[in-house]
Amino acid sequence: MLELSNIGKHYDVAGHRVAALSGIDLTLTRGSFTTIVGRSGCGKTTLLRILAGLASPDTGEVLSGGPAPRIGVVFQEARLMPWLKVAENIAFGLRKRVDRKTIDERVSAILDLTGLSAFRSAMPAQLSGGMAQRVALARALVMEPDLLLMDEPFAALDAFTRRSMQNELVSLWQARKPTIVFVTHDVEEAVVLGQTVIELSEGRVVGRQTVDIPYPRDPTGVEASLCRRAVLARLLTPATPDRMQTKPD
Amino acid sequence: MPFLMPVRDKIFGVLIAIGGCLTVWWAVSWAGLVSPFLLPPPVKVWRAFVALWSSGELLHHTWASAMRVGIGYGLAVSVAIPLAIVFSASGIVRVVAEPLLEFLRQIPPLALMPLLMLWLGIGEAQKIGIIILACFFPVFLGMRGGIAQADRKLIEVGKVCGLNRWEIIRRIVMPSALPALVVGLRISLGYSWRALVGAELIASSVGLGYLITDAQDLARTDIVLVGILVIGVVGLATDFLLKRLCARLAPWLAGDLEMARA
């Protein structure tokens, strides 16, 4: 379990102190799939970077109920090392942790799981956007993370590839059950993927929606549509005066 | 994009360029527009080349120059790369040594020749010293620029994967710096051949630079032209070999290799 308590983060932009996050309280249970949704610049990425350890909060703390979780991150861009082949990119974080034989086994298994076996020796420049993002997902999964953080990983993909990747992600989560925090600005995506949807607006949590629909979810179904409308209604509610302007993420 | 041009088209383009130059050269000589003393006809230059090649003199001079370039370039590269890494990694080194290096960078290597002759004598060390000075900065600055431009997003991937600072430098920053380094290496190689002639101007008894200045003293412009053409051809050949080596060692740099022009 991971608990975020009163997380706050500010940035100095052109001499102004701008609040990116204020008073965020959040509990992530083991094996849960949480989506965080909100407009661009509402602090989603900042929150994810704090969870990943890439940024420190100005206030509050992140507490884990046990040993520090192994973290995997999938960014909005694939961020593959252009000088490494697909298999080497996937093994990038493993080289430090496990022996050569285990690396080979784990990389082969993840290549099979993500349907990338045929591209094992390809260079990143030879991959399509969807394929590159799949490699990035494989690179995160091969670390066998307890906590998988995903920052709008499918935002740059076309609708067909995005849907296919969403389905694959759900299958992988059901098979391995890591705790997933998935950031998106797409309400439909948030509802299709998450067990819980956290609504973020101007650096604050403005709502939570439990999505009790079995997987795989039909985004055009009645239940999903109702959830989407409820989330949208809360996100479209005008901001209260005490909310500060936030830094774009 | 030029690097996508088929090899056949490239060869055709080179042949057209060479053929065009030779034709203009021959026409200018044949029409008597320029004195044959100042610009001998292509045939005379070819005969001089054949004579120098047959006697082994040309190979002797070319080998001596190539050795100087090889040693000078190798030493410059082997000093510039580690120094650039140290400069990039250490703020203290940057603060202390950067002004001195920036000062040295402004001074043309040939301006230091009198001092180098006094310090290193008139032997090989002085000539190689000139080449080192000419080659050092493009490699040093290329490497530093490459390190500075390493993609922060890839470094974040390294952090997320739990790499420490040294591992991030070795596994992410250094490969990221390669494109800029390759540009520096190729520019340096070009500079090394340019500096060579200057280095061989004084107190030299062998080398292509010596061949050219000696021929000038003897009013043999045909031999001067042979020397110039050989330097150009050998320079092109070494640049081509370096490019091939980089393409083999780092195939993802195809575009960057074409960008660098010495």
pLDDT tens digit string along A88-116?
999 998 877 788 899 999 999 989 888 88
Q: Residue B207 contacts by C-beta under 8 Å, 6 or more apart in sequence? A: B61, B64, B65, B68, B127, B196, B200
Tokens encoding A202: 């101007």
- Integer angstrom CA distances of residue B198 from A67, B111, B130, B184: 67, 10, 8, 21
Q: Are A87 and A107 spatial neighbours (Cβ–Cβ below 8 Å)? A: yes
Q: Express each pLDDT in B125-165 by its tens digit.
A: 888 999 999 999 999 999 999 999 999 999 999 999 889 98
B253 secondary structure, DSSP code = G
Give A151 to chain B, closest Cα distance, Å. 13
CB pairs under 8 A between A and B: 43
Is there a domain that residue B189 lies in? yes
Is there a domain that residue B99 lies in? yes
| Interchain contact, A81 vs B163, CB within 8 Å | no
- Integer angstrom CA distances of residue B79 from A43, A208, B126, B136, B196: 46, 59, 17, 8, 19
Q: Are B110 and B201 spatial neighbours (Cβ–Cβ below 8 Å)? A: no
Res. A65: pLDDT tops 60: yes
The answer, yes or no, to whether ipTM is higher than 0.90 is: no
Helix (H, G, I), strand (E, B) or coil at B139: helix
Is there a domain that residue B92 lies in? yes
Region B215-235: mean pLDDT is: 92
B203 secondary structure, DSSP code = S
Distance between CA atoms of residues B231 and B207, nearest Å:
10
Nearest chain A Cα to B162, which residue?
A: A93
Q: Does A92 touch chain B (CB under 8 A)?
A: yes
Of the candidates B182, B197, B181, the one whose C-alpha atom is nearest the C-alpha of residue B235 is B197
Which member of A72, A75, A83 has the closest CB to residue B153? A75
| Interchain contact, B154 vs A79, CB within 8 Å | yes
Domain that holds residue B76: 65-259
Residues of chain A with pLDDT > 70, as a percent, come to 95
CATH code of B233's domain: 1.10.3720.10
Q: What are φ and ψ of residue B93, in 5° steps?
A: -60, -40
Give B153 to chain A, closest Cα distance, Å. 7
Cβ atoms < 10 Å from Cβ of A24? 23
Is there a domain that residue B23 lies in? no
Contacts of B162 in chain A (CB under 8 A): 93, 96-97
Q: What is the mean pLDDT of chain A?
A: 88
Nearest chain B Cα to A93, which residue?
A: B161
Give B9 to chain A, closest Cα distance, Å. 25
B259: confidence class by pLDDT, cuts 50, 70, 90: low
Distance between CA atoms of residues A215 and A86, nearest Å:
30
What is the tally of structural domains in chain B?
1
Q: Does A103 touch chain B (CB under 8 A)?
A: no
Res. B1: pLDDT tops 80: no
Region B229-254: mean pLDDT is: 86
| Interchain contact, B161 vs A92, CB within 8 Å | yes
Nearest chain B Cα to A71, which residue?
A: B160
B57: confidence class by pLDDT, cuts 50, 70, 90: very high
Is there a domain that residue B255 lies in? yes
pLDDT at position B114: 84
Residue B249 identity (one-letter amino acid) = L
Is there a domain that residue B214 lies in? yes
Q: Does A144 touch chain B (CB under 8 A)?
A: no
Residue B255 identity (one-letter amino acid) = G
Distance between CA atoms of residues B241 and B144, nearest Å:
24
pLDDT at position B256: 60
Nearest chain A Cα to B156, which residue?
A: A54
pLDDT at position B137: 93
Task: Determine which of A92, A144, A148 to mutate to test the interface with B (most B C-beta atoms within 10 Å).
Answer: A92
Q: Express each pLDDT in A16-54 by its tens digit.
A: 888 899 999 999 999 999 999 998 888 999 999 999 999
Contacts of B167 in chain A (CB under 8 A): 96
Burial A30-52 (b: 16+ CB within 10 A, else e): eebbbbbbbeebbbbbbbbbbbb
Contacts of B172 in chain A (CB under 8 A): 81
Q: Are B189 and B262 spatial neighbours (Cβ–Cβ below 8 Å)? A: yes
Give A242 to chain B, closest Cα distance, Å. 33
B146 vs A249: which has the higher pLDDT: B146
Query: Which residues does residue B81 pair with via DSSP β-bridges, in sequence order?
Result: none
Tally of CA atoms within 13 A in the half-sphere of A234 that contains its CB:
20
Of the candidates A55, A46, A54, A126, the one whose C-alpha atom is nearest the C-alpha of residue A89 is A126
Res. A238: pLDDT tops 70: no
B90 secondary structure, DSSP code = -
pLDDT at position A245: 41
Give A207 to chain B, closest Cα distance, Å. 29
Beta strands in chain A (DSSP E): 2-13, 16-28, 33-37, 59-64, 71-74, 147-151, 179-184, 196-201, 204-210
Query: Which residues does residue A207 pair with via DSSP β-bridges, in sequence order?
Result: A199
| Interchain contact, A54 vs B153, CB within 8 Å | no
Residues 165-224 of B with CB under 8 A from A: 167, 171-172, 175, 178
Contacts of A54 in chain B (CB under 8 A): 156, 159-160
Helix (H, G, I), strand (E, B) or coil at A203: coil
Quickly tell me which residue has 């290597």 as its tokens: B109
Which bin fits A131, alpha (ψ -120 to 50), beta or left (φ > 0)? alpha
Residues 32-91 of A with CB under 8 A from B: 52-54, 71-73, 75, 77, 79, 81-83
Q: What is the mean pLDDT of chain B?
A: 88
A201 vs A156: which has the higher pLDDT: A201
Q: Residue A80 contacts by C-beta under 8 Å, 6 or more apart in sequence? A: A89, A124, A127, A132, A135, A136, A139
Distance between CA atoms of residues A78 and A123, nearest Å:
13
pLDDT at position A185: 92
- What domains sit in chain A, N to C, each tagged with a CATH number? 2-79+146-235 (3.40.50.300)
